[in-house]
């Protein structure tokens, strides 16, 4: 029988190897558990984002209360939650979806408008006021046109006749009354002048020239307010911010506005202004020359029921909503006015060589001397030439629905199908 003797150093080495192996196994097990936990957390993060998208999609397909939070049932674990909040930002709806899974929260907000049909999109809708539509000069209408029962004919102004080879370049239908905008949109536009009275002091901003102001749409709205005239000069303003005056807002070309809401009785947009914003007034909006308003901008006049159209010192009526020559706008133009007796003047005017990519909705008289790549809805056309006013005449105006992108999202009408106009930040 042999006696095997091991040195103490060998035993220590063996013990050391055993400890190292145990540590490696422990580290490997911890690594696996960490990866599993990381995968779970990653899946939770991805699912919160997906659920927020589901919330936005739900708001597009279902009616929810305005300025209220709607809880959406997920038919899932109790630690998961999804709700949406719906309100307005100017002429469009804004929906915010908030998704939660345990400690993970994700919020997403979108500006919502209305989709147009893929086929037979409306180029022109003229309310039936028992008079025909008259085309003069280089006027051209391309697309589906809803016309008065008296139809459409060519005319002549100051020796100029209609130069087109046909009257309407597209199908026609008989019109009746103007289609109505979405009821909640109209009601919200009428209530915009009351916004400031509902806000708290911490939400107010004091603008300084040369400064930049940004506010996320996931934060409470911030407001620049002054009862007298506000002149926006050399400032950059973007996001969830309202600029409101009880008198007038003047926007200079040295300023840059993005997604901002302007509210005042009168708004004046000076020459060469570039930006993306919504302007809502009760009396007058003037867009001067060479301006470029990007999508989705909006120019809106909501006339007070007791208001009257102001006159100049020469006795000529001002045009409440006017886009001067050589300007480009992408978005919507809305005029909501009261019915007036013996109203022969324009309430909305699109100047020569100006272009609108989008839609015009005018409940009164529209003067069209520029181009609309999109849709026009109006009670009546008018034009003033050589001192005379011509009712329901279009002189050198263009309307072409086919030049508007088929994915365009814009004016909400009753029973319109909703779509995402823009993701907000």
Q: What is the mean pLDDT of residues 250-279?
A: 98
Query: Do 306 and 324 form a contact (C-beta atoms < 8 A)?
Result: no
Provide the strand spans (E) within 31-136. 68-71, 80-89, 92-101, 104-115, 122-126, 133-136
pLDDT at 313: 36
pLDDT at 201: 60
Closest by alpha carbon to 263, among 290, 283, 239? Answer: 283
CA distance 115 to 83: 24
pLDDT at 14: 76
Rg (CA), the chain: 30
DSSP SS3 for 232:
strand
pLDDT at 315: 41
pLDDT beyond 50 at 311:
no
* DSSP state letter for 221: P
Determine if the peptide bond prior to 221 is cis (ω within 30°): no
Task: Note the pLDDT tens digit of each residue in 392-402.
Answer: 999 999 999 99
Q: What is the mean pLDDT of residues 177-185?
A: 95
Task: Note the pLDDT tens digit of each residue in 122-155.
Answer: 999 999 999 999 999 999 999 999 999 999 999 9
Task: State both tokens at 213.
Answer: 């102001």
Q: What is the mean pLDDT of residues 216-223?
A: 96
Average pLDDT of the chain to the nearest whole number: 90
Percent of the chain whose pLDDT exceeds 70: 90
Residues 6 or more apart from 368 whose CB is under 8 A from it?
350, 376, 381, 394, 397, 399
DSSP string, 217-241: TTSPPEEEEESS-EEE-S-EEEESE
pLDDT beyond 60 at 85:
yes
Task: State both tokens at 247.
Answer: 């008198």
pLDDT at 197: 55
Q: What are phi and psi for residue 54, nearest 5 degrees?
A: -65, -35
Closest by alpha carbon to 97, among 108, 105, 89? Answer: 108
> b or e along 107-143 (b: 16 or more beta carbons within 10 Å of the residue's beta carbon)?
bbbbbbbbbbeeeebbbbbbbbeeeebbbbbebbbbb
DSSP H/E element including 370: none
Q: What is the mean pLDDT of residues 25-32?
A: 81
Q: What is the mean pLDDT of residues 42-59?
A: 87
Least confident of 99-113, 200-214, 340-354, 405-419: 200-214
pLDDT at 43: 73
Residue 312 pLDDT grade (very low, low, confident, very high; cuts 50, 70, 90): very low
Residue 386 pLDDT grade (very low, low, confident, very high; cuts 50, 70, 90): confident
193 or 79, higher pLDDT: 79
Q: What is the mean pLDDT of residues 51-76?
A: 91
Closest by alpha carbon to 56, among 102, 117, 112? Answer: 112
Query: Do 327 and 351 form a contact (C-beta atoms < 8 A)?
Result: yes
Task: State both tokens at 379.
Answer: 């009670």
Long-range pairs, 353-356, Cβ under 8 A, ≥24: 353/325, 353/326, 354/323, 354/324, 354/325, 354/326, 354/327, 354/328, 354/329, 355/327, 355/328, 355/329, 356/323, 356/328, 356/329, 356/330
DSSP H/E element including 273: none
Residue 310 pLDDT grade (very low, low, confident, very high; cuts 50, 70, 90): very low
Query: How many Å from the N-terminal Cα to the C-terminal Cα in the chain?
Result: 85
Neighbours of 234 (CB within 10 A): 14
Task: State both tokens at 153.
Answer: 């004919």
pLDDT beyond 70 at 316:
no
């Amino acid at each position: 029988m042999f006696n095997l003797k091991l040195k103490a150093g060998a035993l220590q080495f063996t013990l050391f190897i055993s400890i190292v192996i145990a540590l490696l196994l422990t580290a490997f097990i911890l690594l696996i558990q960490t990866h599993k936990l990381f995968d779970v957390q990653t899946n939770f993060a991805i699912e919160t984002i997906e659920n927020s998208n589901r919330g936005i999609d739900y708001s597009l397909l279902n009616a929810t209360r305005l300025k209220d939070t709607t809880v959406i049932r997920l038919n899932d674990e109790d630690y998961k939650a999804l709700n949406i909040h719906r309100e307005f930002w100017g002429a469009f709806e804004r929906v915010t979806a908030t998704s939660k899974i345990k400690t993970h929260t994700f919020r997403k907000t979108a500006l919502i408008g209305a989709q147009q049909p893929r086929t037979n999109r409306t180029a022109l809708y003229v309310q039936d006021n028992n008079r025909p539509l008259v085309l003069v000069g280089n006027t051209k209408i391309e697309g589906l046109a809803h016309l008065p029962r008296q139809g459409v004919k060519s005319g002549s102004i100051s020796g100029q006749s209609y130069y087109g080879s046909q009257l309407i370049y597209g199908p026609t239908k008989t019109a009746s009354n103007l289609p109505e905008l979405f009821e909640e949109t109209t009601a919200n536009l009428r209530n915009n002048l009351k916004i400031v009275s509902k806000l708290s002091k911490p939400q107010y901003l004091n603008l300084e020239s040369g400064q930049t102001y940004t506010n996320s749409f996931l934060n409470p709205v911030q407001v620049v307010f002054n009862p007298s005239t506000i002149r926006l000069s050399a400032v950059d303003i973007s996001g969830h911010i309202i600029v409101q005056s009880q008198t007038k807002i003047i926007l200079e070309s040295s300023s840059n506005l993005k997604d901002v809401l302007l509210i005042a009785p009168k708004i004046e947009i000076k020459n060469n202004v570039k930006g993306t914003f919504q302007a809502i007034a009760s009396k007058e909006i003037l867009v001067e020359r060479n301006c470029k308003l990007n999508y989705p901008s909006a120019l809106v006049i909501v006339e007070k029921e007791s208001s009257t159209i102001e006159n100049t010192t020469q006795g000529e009526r001002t045009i409440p909503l006017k886009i001067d020559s050589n300007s480009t706008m992408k978005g919507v133009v809305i005029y909501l006015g009261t019915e007036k007796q013996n109203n022969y003047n324009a309430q909305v005017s699109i100047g020569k060589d100006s272009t609108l990519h989008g839609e015009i909705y005018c409940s009164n008289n529209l003067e069209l001397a520029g181009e609309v790549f999109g849709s026009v809805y109006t009670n009546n056309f008018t034009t003033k030439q050589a001192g005379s006013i011509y009712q329901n005449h279009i002189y050198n105006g263009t309307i072409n629905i086919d030049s508007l992108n088929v994915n365009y999202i814009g004016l909400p009408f009753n029973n319109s199908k909703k779509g995402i106009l823009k993701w907000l930040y």
